[in-house]
Amino acid sequence: MNDLRALYEDVILDHNRRPRNFQHKPGGANHQAFGFNPLCGDEFTVYLQVENNIVTDVGFEGVGCAIAVASTSLMTEAIKGKPIAEVEALFQSVHHLLTHKGEAAAPLGKLAVLAGVHEFPMRIKCATLGWHVMKAAIENQHETVCTE
């Protein structure tokens, strides 16, 4: 259990210090959405370039706590190059992991470290924010995403 917690902490710290795909709108982005978590002050815009139902590029910008930044960074790595159907299935699996006591509905690979968020129940909304914003971007929702 201590090894898993150490891995969780290492991954969260690494992705918070050096978030992947942390950039303003990548060239050709044709989907975007904005969301915020009023409890923590996290707010992100997620940009997607979707071509032939495949996420060919992804970026995000904004401010957030370590868990929100790390989860969104991990998300961008996981969805780049994936078909929309796989991205939507991944959203469901990660959402299940984060909201059901760390139990994965499907194999998640590196994303499984997010199960550690359950040690901090008040931070689940932080970890899910980027995922909800990404889902709204895919669905071309123009309303602001709020975790409340």
For residue range 120-137, what is the model confidence (pLDDT) as tens digits?
888 999 999 999 999 999
pLDDT in tens, 53-65: 999 999 999 999 9
Residue 13: pLDDT band with limits 50, 70, 90: confident
* pLDDT tens-digit series, residues 74-124: 999 999 999 999 999 999 999 988 888 656 666 688 888 888 887 788 899
Provide CB contacts within 8 A for 48, sequence distance 6+: 29, 30, 31, 32, 55, 57, 58, 134, 137, 138
Structural domain including 25 reads: 2-146
- Name the residue among 33, 98, 35, 27 with its Cα closest to residue 63: 35
Contact 29, 47 (CB under 8 A): yes
pTM of the model: 0.89
CA–CA gap between residue 47 and residue 55 (Å, rounded): 10
At 146 the pLDDT is: 94
Tally of domains in the chain: 1
Q: Are 105 and 92 a contacting pair, CB within 8 Å? A: yes
Distance CA 70, CA 99 (A): 17
- Residue 44's identity, in one-letter code, is F
How sure is the predictor about 68, in pLDDT bands with cuts at 50, 70 and 90?
A: very high
> In this model, does residue 145 exceed pLDDT 60?
yes
Distance CA(54)–CA(129), nearest Å, equals 22
Question: H or E segment at 68?
Answer: helix 66-79
The per-residue pLDDT for 23 is: 81
The H or E element that residue 42 is part of is: strand 42-51
- The CATH code of the domain that includes 92 is 3.90.1010.10
The shares of helix, strand and coil residues in the chain, as percent rounded to the nearest 5, are: 50, 20, 30
The predicted structure's pLDDT at residue 117: 86
Q: Which two tokens stand for residue 44?
A: 């992100």
